[in-house]
A and B are shown apart, each in its own frame.
Chain A
């Protein structure tokens, strides 16, 4: 259904996509996982037909990209709507623009508005909508014409927990119906939960693609240690500890910093890590030992700060 073959895209001199090759079949959910600026959104825009590739080729639904447009549903990372129209009028505009007849548009939109929890607000101007409501409306607009290919950029951004779960269920239903779903996300858990296949992206390239469980299993017997510190430590000193395979910054939580280490199993490695933290004058707030996840796969592949 979707074939990318050696696709590259330049923004001026910057190579936003670098020789990306990918295939996505009918009913498949693929997550593009990577940090900001890794090329996920550019790849989605390319597939949506916003621009042609500078190198390589893109084949959608066979070969005719012009006729493919009507079969694609797009959710951009920005939730742009006609502000002076109501939510329902906005959705109606996009449904009709995608060729849905009036007879088919009305029941479909009614269902989707109820699903999104926007039914009560359907006749209110979009300018009165919250960010989360705008994102839901954009999802309704992307789904209304029952596209064969769904391109979703950070689909759960701005959604509450219940709405996220509803979205995941809906996407699984769409996939069962045969819709190919490609979603860009920086949320490791979302990718692992939803996607049947994950492509890890960095600097415009796909580093690796595969089933989430298989990618995590590729780390073999490594263990993940999460350190919460008041003051960050030089990562180089942690990387030099015997048994530590990778070390990277995971996230910042208020005044504290979380570091993520991939280590070979064994109590002595943990002891050496704690010793090094103390030696470096670090103030340890917490320590956690876990099984690795997709973010660790990324860290292993790039040796960078991670997702």
Chain B
């Protein structure tokens, strides 16, 4: 395939490095393998998987964008007759396709362990996709504020810690009510909830809240995208 669009370029470039591709696919599986042990509670499994989706999407997108900026590729893209929102949207789309594929095997492996109800699987997949999109949007927001690759790692780590902590807030008894309410808006909370619901050990959540908050974060990233493609002297 000759890549004529940014998302196609990202997919072709990612698929070309076979060793890197193998590592990217196998690493989450290896890191998440402890979740598949018998004694691991279902709550921990679901939160662990949602956290991994958050981590992979946020870091992948943030570090990738800052690397493009440091290579001065964002400057080259900025002079194309395409809006910065479209370019970032395509970059996020590529991230979603790639991360979605990367995390699919661990998702299937973890989901199968709990014996999901077939009718609840589409809802789980929808929550998964919303979480992947949101994680990539969060990565783009981290890249927006970071001015170097060192900084972007710090911001991405902060985002993962804060968003992950809020999303998993209901696991800890001491989380204050407002923070727990905030966490319950996040798509990662709903991905975790969708797994538990698919396994039949939790009532259905309100994933529409996750879609709503994910859309807000994506919209914010697209709205602020001109800042990402802004020329930086030197």
Contacts and interface: CB of A to CB of B under 8 A. Distances in A.
Size range of the interface on A?
A: 20 to 34
A76 B76 CA distance: 8
**Which secondary structure characterizes the binding site on chain B?**
loop
A78 interface: yes
Nearest to A96: B4
Contact of A69 (B5, B9, B16, B79): B79
A99 interface: yes
A80 interface: yes
A80 B72 contact: yes
Given A51-B231, A76-B72, A98 B81 contact: yes
B4 A80 contact: no
Interface in A42-59: 45, 48-51
Contacts of A191: none
A92 B16 contact: no
A161 interface: no
A186 to B, nearest CB: 19
Given A50-B78, A78-B72, A84 B231 contact: no
A182 to B, nearest CB: 14
Contacts of A51: 230-231
Given A85-B13, A97-B80, A98-B80, A80 B73 contact: yes
Interface in B125-177: none
B79 A72 contact: yes
A80 B71 contact: yes
B231 A45 contact: yes
Interface residues of B, number: 23
Nearest to B1: A89
Contact of B3 (A50, A93, A98, A102): A93
B8 to A, nearest CB: 8
Contacts of B233: 11, 16
Nearest to B231: A50
Interface in B1-47: 2-6, 9, 12-13, 16-17
Interface string A74-108: 10101010101100110011111111001000000
Contacts of A82: 9, 13, 73
A70 interface: yes
Contacts of A45: 231
A80 B76 contact: yes
Given A11-B233, A78-B72, A84 B16 contact: yes
Contacts of B6: 97
B80 A69 contact: yes
B76 to A, nearest CB: 6
Contacts of A16: 233
B158 to A, nearest CB: 28
Nearest to A151: B79
Contacts of B73: 80, 82
Interface string B60-94: 00000000000111011011111000000000000
Interface of B: 2-6, 9, 12-13, 16-17, 71-73, 75-76, 78-82, 230-231, 233
27 contacts: A16-B233, A48-B79, A50-B79, A51-B231, A69-B81, A74-B79, A76-B72, A76-B75, A76-B76, A80-B72, A80-B73, A82-B13, A84-B12, A85-B3, A85-B12, A85-B13, A85-B16, A89-B2, A89-B3, A89-B12, A92-B4, A95-B4, A96-B4, A97-B4, A98-B80, A98-B81, A102-B4
Interface of A: 11, 16, 45, 48-51, 67, 69-70, 72, 74, 76, 78, 80, 82, 84-85, 88-89, 92-99, 102
Given A67-B81, A72-B79, 20 more contacts: A49-B78, A50-B78, A50-B231, A69-B81, A76-B75, A80-B71, A80-B75, A80-B76, A84-B13, A85-B3, A85-B9, A85-B16, A88-B2, A89-B3, A92-B2, A93-B3, A93-B4, A94-B80, A97-B6, A99-B81
